[in-house]
Structure 1
């Protein structure tokens, strides 16, 4: 699909996004930003659009994902900001001591896990993506995801008993 054709199709179908953005954000300025960001991302990822598929559904998915990511980011930021002003030197020392004890307990429990669960979980904790772990361990990605999930579940169950 040529850029001109895609651009024309995008402009033809973009108008429906404005009320969707307003419904998601409930704020006119945030809705405008979300609308513009959606169109920018659509143009940037033109090559990922499959010609003949529903462009409105594709645009809606982009907008929804942008909104969810922004919401998560702002919620994470808000929770860290709320905690910061209340910390004093004494409570910080207590928190650090408690965190060190908890970390030691988690590491002890983690290393008791079977190797087939421990290895993928440690790689995941080191920041590797599922497909990278699958390549490193020469396992299918579904197996890696399953093992990481089960390892986290085992870790949680073991930790809750202590």
Structure 2
């Protein structure tokens, strides 16, 4: 019975403010759909914490404060996510290559394949190749 009473009281209180909340949300979002979402989030939070509202205070100010704080928190969360994505997009493939850890297991297989290929070289090509590879000029 108390939950029904809470819902009835809450609905009666928000009635006159619903359109004003929508207009206030439009000031923040500049988009009908986002404004409707913001109003919905605001009303859900207000209903959830309705028992914390003190009747002798200003209900309108309480609602509008919830909306403002909800918008600010969502904005900060989205900005943080966007900043992370932007930083990753700005990294070049060269930077990503150096920032990745090396796969030593794969490197071991590659070195083994190179050693096998070098063993197939004739002696007259093996020595010059190895000297060049080790940094000798002649």
The answer to whether 1:78 aligns with 2:94 is: no
CA distance in 2, matches of 1:68, 1:84: 25
Return the match for 1:8 from 12, 23, 29. Answer: 12
> Cα RMSD over matched residues?
2.2
Q: Distance in 2 between matches of 1:34 and 1:69?
A: 11
CA distance in 2, matches of 1:60, 1:27: 18
Kindly state the Cα deviation for residue 89 of structure 1 after the two structures are TM-superposed. 6.0
The 2-side partners of 1:41 and 1:82 are apart by 31
What is the CA-CA distance between 1:81 and the residue it aligns to?
Answer: 0.9
Contact 1:13 1:55 in 2 (8 A): no
Does residue 64 of structure 1 match 2:68? yes
CA deviations on 1:25-62 (whole Å, 9 max, x unpaired) are: 11111101001111111111111111121111000000
How many angstroms apart in 1 are the aligned matches of 2:89 and 2:20? 43
Contiguous gaps of at least 5 residues in structure 1: 97-162
Whole-Å Cα distance in 2 between the matches of residues 17 and 64 of structure 1?
10
| Distance in 2 separating the partners of 1:36 and 1:16 | 13
Deviation at 1:86, TM superposition (A): 3.1
**Partner Cα distance (1:95, 1:62) in 2:** 43
Moved over 4 A (4+): 92-96
In the alignment, which of 41, 44, 50 is matched to residue 46 of structure 1? 50
CA–CA separation in structure 2 for the residues paired with 1:17 and 1:63: 8
Task: Give the whole-Å Cα distance in 1 for the aligned partners of 2:80 and 2:99.
Answer: 20
Gaps of 5+ in 2: 101-138
Match of 2:41 in 1: 37
TM-score, normalised to structure 1, is 0.52
Instruction: Give 1 or 2 for the bigger CA radius of gyration.
Output: 2
